Chain A
Amino acid sequence: MLIAVIPAYNEATRIASVVRAVQKYVDRVIVVDDGSGDETGKQAKEAGAFVVRHMSNGGAGAATMTGIDAARLMGADGIITIDADEQHAPEDIPALLAPIKDNKADIVFANRFGTRNKIPFIRRVFNGIGNIVSFLATGLWVSDSQCGFKAFGSRALRDVNLRMSGFEFCTEIVREAAQHRWRISEIPTKVIYSEYTLAKGQSFANGVRTAFKILLRSFLR
């Protein structure tokens, strides 16, 4: 069974359309409502998703891990993680799953920079810094380490254990890949940056704090 995991925080205006679009490609959709103050959970449920709700905001990493746990308990063989803000194209899901189905990868990272996408310069810079920090912390280079769009095969789904709650979880997934020696594949995907998506992104200060936490934890772990 293939399950999509969508961590969501205050995404009431977008979540229903994301759930409906993703449903075409997977068997079930789990939305983890990360303590939203709006109707994210209600909208997701009405769109047909199974909703797990955090009583308070735990962060993107915590929400993703809750979704992964829920998928395991539901008996998933593989999962897709995708952002709730409509920045990813669900049509890319089959391409993302292909290396897992062909038994060539345990985890597949989407690569927003591998194809012609209209990405603001500052985003490219932030993602480049994120990649470098991830490399320094894990020794593994991933072209788009900070992207929330990923596919986990059965082995990666069984092994993964995220402890970081915030946006650091993206780097922690790369660390998990290095730790468990998963086979990695990267697939170019579309990305749609709107004003809404850009407003939801991380601030520079938050990015610095995240980088600091990652490097510190990788050293003192």
Chain B
Amino acid sequence: MHLTPYQIIVPLLSILAMVYAWNLVMRQKKTIWEACLWTLFWGGIALVALFPGTLGYLSAATGIKSQENAVIFTGLGILFFLVFYIIIRIEEMEQRQTRMIRALALREAGLEKDDKAKKE
């Protein structure tokens, strides 16, 4: 079986993403369920990279047959991911603002968290 560089790099990246997810589970930052979903997602990407023939079913369902269409499709996927990433960043900023509102409310009520909690 002749492998292209793409077919080597993508599965390796997928394995890295899966290891990272399960590492987060070990550190109690991700649940087992979330890691399973993550593994399925990256497993699927690795599978498609190694066996492009599996996309034949997708092609029949979506009508994407040519390489040009596939490039547009991939581009859309990347754009979607970027939008998701921006949404998450905005949410993080909102969370930071909310943490300030909450800390201020507790302080005004005469209840203060210790320094360690404040940093969190």
Interface residues of A, Cβ cutoff 8 Å to B: 32, 35, 50-56, 58-59, 62, 65-66, 69-70, 73-74, 137-140, 163, 165, 175, 178-179, 213, 216-221
From B38, which residue of chain A is reached at the shortest CB distance? A219
* Interface residue B105 (Cβ < 8 Å from any Cβ of A): yes
Contact between B102 and A65 (Cβ–Cβ < 8 Å)? Answer: yes
Q: Which residue in chain B gives the minimum CB-CB distance to A163?
A: B95
Number of A-B contacts (CB under 8 A): 78
Are A221 and B30 closer than 8 Å at their CB atoms? yes
Q: Contact partner of B32 among A54, A139, A217, CB < 8 A?
A: A139
Contact A219 B105 (CB under 8 A): no
Known: A163-B95, A216-B84, A217-B91. A66 touches B105 (CB 8 A): yes
Q: In chain A, what residue has the closest Cβ to B25?
A: A179
List B residues at the A interface (Cβ < 8 Å): 28-34, 36-38, 41, 84-85, 87-88, 91, 94-95, 98, 101-102, 104-106, 108-109, 111-113
Decide if B33 touches A52 in the complex (CB within 8 Å): no
- Flag if B104 contacts A62 (CB, 8 Å): no
CB-based contact A56/B33 at 8 Å: no
- Ordered by A's residue number, 10 sampled pairs between the chains whose C-beta atoms are within 8 Å are A52-B108, A54-B101, A138-B31, A139-B32, A165-B94, A179-B31, A216-B84, A216-B87, A217-B88, A219-B34
Question: Which of A35, A70, A179 contacts B106, CB < 8 Å?
Answer: A70
Instruction: For the complex formed, measure the closest distance between the CB of A26 and the CB atoms of chain B, giving whole angstroms.
Output: 18
